[in-house]
Structure 1
Amino acid sequence: MGADHTRPAPSAPPGVRRILVATVVPLFVATVIAALVLWPWDSPETDPGTEPPRHHGTVTRVVTEPCPPAPETPEGTPGAAGGPCGTVTVRVDDGPDAGQQVETPVPDGPGAPTVAVGDEIILVELTDPADPSASTYNIAEHQRGKPLVWLVVLFAAAIVAFGRWRGLAALAGLAASFAVLLAFVLPGISAGQPPLLVAVVGAALIMFVVLYLTHGVTAQTSVAVLGTLGSLVLTGLLGTIATAATHLTGYGSEDATTLSMFQADVDLHGLLLAGIIIGSLGVLDDVTVTQAATVTELAHANPELSRRQLYRAATRVGRAHIASTVNTIVLAYAGASLPVLLLLTADSRAVTQILTSEFLAQEIVRSAVATLGLIAAVPLTTGLAAVVTTAGRRRAAPADADATPAPPVPRPAPDRAEALEALSAPRAGNTSPATPDGWPDRDRSTDAAW
Structure 2
Amino acid sequence: MWLLIPLAVATVAGMVFLYPWGKDPAKSVFPQGTPVNATVTGTITGPCLAEGQVQVGEPPPDAKPCLTSELTMTDGPASGKPLKLTLPIEPSTPRFAAGDEVVLSYNGGDVANPASFQIVDFQRGTPLLLLAGLFALAVIVLGRWQGVAALIALGLSFLVLALFVLPSILAGESPLLVAIAGAGAIMFVALYLTHGLSARTSVAVLGTLVSLVLIGVLSAIFSAAASLTGLDDSTSQLIGSLGHGIDARGLLLAGVVIGALGVLDDVTVTQTSAVWELRRANPALGWRELYGAGLRIGRDHVGSAVNTLVMAYAGAALPVLLYTSLSGVGLGSILGAENIAQEIVRTLAGSVGIVAAVPVTTVLAALIASREPQESL
TM-score normalised to structure 2 length: 0.89
The RMSD of aligned alpha carbons is 2.3
Deviation of residue 363 (structure 1)? 1.3
The corresponding residue for 2:236 is: 257
SS in 2 for 1:41: coil
The corresponding residue for 1:10 is: none
> Residue 113 of structure 2 is aligned with which of 124, 131, 135?
135
- Deviations along 1:236-268, one digit per CA (max 9) or x if unpaired, are 1111111122121112x2112222222341101
Question: Is the Cα–Cα contact under 8 Å of residues 54 and 122 in structure 1 kept in the other structure?
Answer: yes
Question: Is the Cα–Cα contact under 8 Å of residues 78 and 111 in structure 2 kept in the other structure?
Answer: no
Question: Is the Cα–Cα contact under 8 Å of residues 105 and 138 in structure 1 kept in the other structure?
Answer: no
Task: Quote the Cα distance in structure 2 between the aligned partners of 1:374 and 1:101.
Answer: 55
Task: Quote the Cα distance in structure 2 between the aligned partners of 1:179 and 1:165.
Answer: 21
- Equivalent runs, 1:219-368 vs 2, <5 Å: 219-251=199-231, 253-263=232-242, 264-368=244-348
Task: Quote the Cα distance in structure 1 between the aligned partners of 2:31 and 2:100.
Answer: 28
The corresponding residue for 2:97 is: 116
- Equivalent runs, 1:139-154 vs 2, <5 Å: 139-154=119-134
The corresponding residue for 2:33 is: 52
Deviation of residue 190 (structure 1)? 1.2
Once structures 1 and 2 are overlaid, which stretch shifts more, 81-90 or 91-100?
Answer: 81-90
Closer/same/farther in 2, CA of residues 127 and 229 from structure 1, 3 Å limit: closer
Larger Rg: 1
Q: Percent identity among equivalent residues? A: 48
> Residue 96 of structure 1 is aligned with which of 77, 85, 108?
77
Deviation of residue 84 (structure 1)? 4.0
- Equivalent runs, 1:381-396 vs 2, <5 Å: 381-391=361-371
The corresponding residue for 2:46 is: 65
| Structure 2 letter corresponding to 1:376 | A
* Residue ranges of structure 2 left out of the alignment (5+ in a row): 51-61
SS in 1 for 2:70: strand
Question: Is the Cα–Cα contact under 8 Å of residues 250 and 269 in structure 1 kept in the other structure?
Answer: yes
Question: Is the Cα–Cα contact under 8 Å of residues 344 and 351 in structure 1 kept in the other structure?
Answer: no
Once structures 1 and 2 are overlaid, which stretch shifts more, 377-386 or 99-108?
Answer: 99-108
Confirm whether residue 216 of structure 1 aligns to residue 200 of structure 2. Answer: no
Closer/same/farther in 2, CA of residues 152 and 204 from structure 1, 3 Å limit: same
Question: Is the Cα–Cα contact under 8 Å of residues 29 and 241 in structure 2 kept in the other structure?
Answer: no
Task: Quote the Cα distance in structure 1 between the aligned partners of 2:172 and 2:73.
Answer: 40
SS in 1 for 2:71: strand
Closer/same/farther in 2, CA of residues 332 and 266 from structure 1, 3 Å limit: same
SS in 1 for 2:328: coil
Deviation of residue 127 (structure 1)? 6.0
The corresponding residue for 1:428 is: none
- Deviations along 1:47-100, one digit per CA (max 9) or x if unpaired, are 59944333222122222224469xxxxxxxxxxx96542432212212332222
* Residue ranges of structure 1 left out of the alignment (5+ in a row): 1-19, 70-80, 395-450
Confirm whether residue 172 of structure 1 aligns to residue 152 of structure 2. Answer: yes
| Structure 1 letter corresponding to 2:239 | S
Deviation of residue 26 (structure 1)? 1.9
How many residues end up aligned between the 2 structures?
360
- Deviations along 1:343-374, one digit per CA (max 9) or x if unpaired, are 45311322212222222221111111001111
SS in 2 for 1:46: helix
Closer/same/farther in 2, CA of residues 292 and 345 from structure 1, 3 Å limit: same
Task: Quote the Cα distance in structure 1 between the aligned partners of 2:168 and 2:200.
Answer: 32
Task: Quote the Cα distance in structure 1 between the aligned partners of 2:99 and 2:66.
Answer: 19
| Structure 2 letter corresponding to 1:103 | K
Deviation of residue 106 (structure 1)? 4.8
TM-score normalised to structure 1 length: 0.75
Closer/same/farther in 2, CA of residues 281 and 82 from structure 1, 3 Å limit: farther
**Structure 1 or 2: larger helix share?**
2
